[in-house]
A and B are shown apart, each in its own frame.
Chain A
Amino acid sequence: MQAIPAFDEMFGSGEGYDSRSPAGVTAAYRAIRQWMADSPPELMAARRAQAELFFRRIGITFAVYGDAQATERLIPFDIVPRILTRAEWDRLERGLKQRVQALNMFLADIYGPREILKAGVVPAELVLMNPAYCLHMVGRSPPGGVWVHIAGIDLVRTGSDDFYVLEDNARTPSGVSYMLENREVMLKLVPELFDQVKVAPVETYPERLLETLASVSPRKVRAGHPTCVLLTPGQYNSAFYEHSFLADKLGIELVEGNDLFVRDDIVFMRTTEGPQRVDVIYRRVDDAFIDPLVFNPDSMLGVPGLMAAYAAGNVTLANAVGTGIADDKAIYSYMPEIVRFYTGEEPILANVPTWRCREPEALMYVLDHLPELVVKEVDGSGGYGMLVGPHASKTTIAAFAAKLKANPEKFIAQPTLALSTCPTATDGGVAARHVDLRPFVLTGADGVRIVPGGLTRVAMTAGSLVVNSSQGGGTKDTWIIDG
């Protein structure tokens, strides 16, 4: 695979891994660099083996669709943490809050007065004709006015101060269980490192999530907490492990559609002590399957009547129905304008320059420059169906060009970014691998909560820019450190 010169977060440049010189090491990485230097290769290998054992024991797995070899497998974990300084994080955090606030305002607007469409800032047809724009939510307002309770914003870095948002995940972002598990494993594996370096905690995430869910309960419960449940499509879903893990950490019931029913526009959970009213559903079931009376009539995963209870204001769904439109990559390309429109501020986090193939001039440019671009489906995720021009063969590019010409509105293109690299333990010793970062942003009726850090995904293959776990990517613990 062709190597792309990239910013390395330890050395501050593309150099350093061969010279073994600590001189150029960034302040953030000094302690880690020393720790790696003090660890002979056998010790690093032993730690890697031990980490894998921990994960096997926990049973953390991930199902990969279309992989006949194994329906479930371990996601590779790298024992070298990814480090960001408090100052770097503070700026990211402000940017994330601003962006998610704008996303919530955008959703409230397009399902409400549609000011942004009337102002011509976002083309009306891009929203109104988008399959992810849920007509059944038009004119509705979710309890507390919050649409995206849990957002996963994918960030990439190309230089010391250059962070970009690569994708917004407002539908059902996953991966937070890895953020929590990675920290747990690192604490067991290298407790001495946590003594030397002050790492911001991420363990509070389940508490923050529960506070967020409780804040949007439609019912003011006088004694005790509102009843929250986690609705999963079931054990065959790729993220089932995460669903059961989170329900356990939150101390709430993990339910499937069959465990819930709707009576007189109120949602109940079947329990051994009789029906219990449900206030908030953290749902990991997609819109299309959530209520067979309104959406896909064949769905066995949802709850008949749920949309009636939702429209009556008797239950909160997190995230709200219809948030998937914010994941659309053509909508993404308008995010700087969307942030300005609703907040009146300049966006703190930059967007990756994006060509919308639905626009004829952009399409022409993209077709002429395929070998250097990344092309994605507007409604794609998980790294499926995308073209990484610099790593694609001529045949692949030609086939992709045909797809692109047939349905240009289904694609966007971006320059191939040289994602930053981080030191990563490989079979051949520590080496640079490309990474991204998915922080999780929680929005309740009472404000925004973000635990410092997020999930760092790492492309385990040298030179690869695809970090998605469905494409063989791994994860790292992410440390926000003082100093």
Chain B
Amino acid sequence: MRIRVDYSTVYEYAQPASNVLQLLRVQPAGHEGQHVVNWRIDSDCDGHLKRGEDAFGNITHMFYPDGLIQRLALHVSGEVDTQESHGVLAGTFEPLPAMAFLRQSELTRPDDALLALARQIDAGDALASCHRLTGLLYDGMTFDADVTHSHSDAAHAFAIKAGVCQDYAHIFLSVARSIGIPARYVSGHLVRQDGLITQPAAHAWAEALIPDLGWVAFDPTNGMCATEAYLRVAVGLDYRDAAPIRGARRGGGTETMNVAVTTQASGQASGRHPGLGELGQQTQEQSQS
């Protein structure tokens, strides 16, 4: 499938802000099932973009806009060819030993309820356990964009049995790791089966290391393994390591951030590109649905 992504983020500050800088993880790397055809990062502000790579192997950019900033639009777009592999990954760049992904992070630390869930889904076999976990979260959780924040942790989301894709992923990671399955957070994009092209945020799911298979992608929000409709951008221990944008600034007062993502198969009837003015409004830190 050829996936085309257009991804816009607009920041506006009540007053001009200085020393604005952003750490971006918005550019996908290729692997066996994912070939990046073209990709670009644009902004309406002048500045410097410095490419790097983080310890997880993600492509990073530091964006340093010039001068005082009151409005900053970032536009990421590109096309990627993907192949169906039923979620099984091959040829990914793996600079970290798998054991590092057994570590819980601040956002995945399990509480008693998550540990109980871990005992409940533990099938003794990693693949079966991950499938059970994916199905159980899909059935038992309610997708709700208004109940959690980008800094909510797995224990909180599981306690209220609701959240966005980021929360589903964190719960998956918390449970998988606590039964000894290395697991990591994935941020990326999804061509939705329901044909909804314009989405309020990027997508997130999880990968687990399964004996004899390697890394396998599970999407608990949609109750399935990843397919060719999934475009994988960045991985990490949790959202914080893989977040598309982490930024800082001096001054600026209140910040508003608007995000719009269109993700579609290239053959798909083209949806309307959202004007930057009519995007859904989000909280300060961008969360992933």
Interface residues of A (CB under 8 A from B): 114, 124-125, 128-129, 131, 133, 135-140, 261-265, 292-294, 297, 304-305, 308, 311-312
Contact = CB atoms under 8 A, between A and B. Distances in A.
Given A135-B237, A265-B50, A305-B23, 18 more contacts: A128-B97, A128-B99, A128-B103, A135-B241, A136-B54, A138-B100, A139-B95, A261-B250, A263-B19, A264-B48, A292-B246, A297-B151, A297-B240, A305-B62, A305-B248, A308-B23, A308-B60, A311-B54
A334 to B, nearest CB: 17
Contacts of B246: 292-294, 297
B50 A264 contact: yes
Interface in B43-62: 48, 50, 52, 54-56, 60, 62
Nearest to A131: B103
Given A129-B102, A131-B103, A262-B21, A114 B52 contact: no
A124 B55 contact: no
Contacts of A293: 21, 23, 246-248
B64 interface: yes
Contact of B52 (A138, A263, A312): A312
B52 A129 contact: no
B96 interface: yes
A305 B100 contact: no
B62 to A, nearest CB: 5
Interface string B46-82: 0010101011100010101000000000000000000
Contact of B99 (A129, A131, A137, A292): A129
Contact of A124 (B60, B62, B97): B97
12 contacts: A128-B99, A128-B100, A129-B99, A129-B100, A131-B103, A136-B54, A139-B55, A262-B21, A264-B48, A297-B285, A304-B19, A305-B23
A137 B62 contact: no
Chief secondary structure at chain A's binding surface? loop
A276 to B, nearest CB: 15
Contacts of A140: 55
Kindly list the 9 A-B residue pairs having the minimum CB-CB distance in the complex, ordered from nearest. A304-B248, A128-B99, A293-B23, A138-B55, A308-B62, A293-B246, A136-B55, A261-B19, A305-B21
Given A131-B103, A304-B248, A308-B50, A294 B96 contact: no
Contacts of B250: 261
Contacts of A304: 19, 21, 248
A312 B21 CA distance: 16
Contacts of B151: 297
Contact of A129 (B55, B62, B103, B247): B103
Contacts of B103: 128-129, 131
A137 B240 CA distance: 16
Nearest to A302: B248
B248 A308 contact: no
B142 to A, nearest CB: 27
Contacts of A263: 19, 21, 64
A135 to B, nearest CB: 5
B249 to A, nearest CB: 8
Contacts of B241: 135
Given A129-B99, A129-B100, A305-B248, A135 B64 contact: no
A312 B60 CA distance: 12
Contacts of B62: 265, 305, 308
B50 A312 contact: yes
Contacts of A265: 50, 62
A140 B52 CA distance: 12
Interface string B86-97: 000000000111
Centre residue among B50, B54, B62 by max chain A CB count within 10 A? B62
B64 A114 contact: no
Contacts of A292: 246, 248
A297 B246 CA distance: 9
B110 to A, nearest CB: 14
Contacts of A312: 50, 52
Contacts of B19: 261, 263, 304
B179 to A, nearest CB: 15
B287 to A, nearest CB: 13
Nearest to B66: A263
Contacts of A125: 99, 102
A435 B237 CA distance: 43
Interface in B1-51: 19, 21, 23, 48, 50
Contacts of A308: 23, 50, 52, 60, 62
Contacts of A297: 151, 240, 246, 285
A311 to B, nearest CB: 6
B239 to A, nearest CB: 10
Contacts of A311: 52, 54
A132 to B, nearest CB: 11
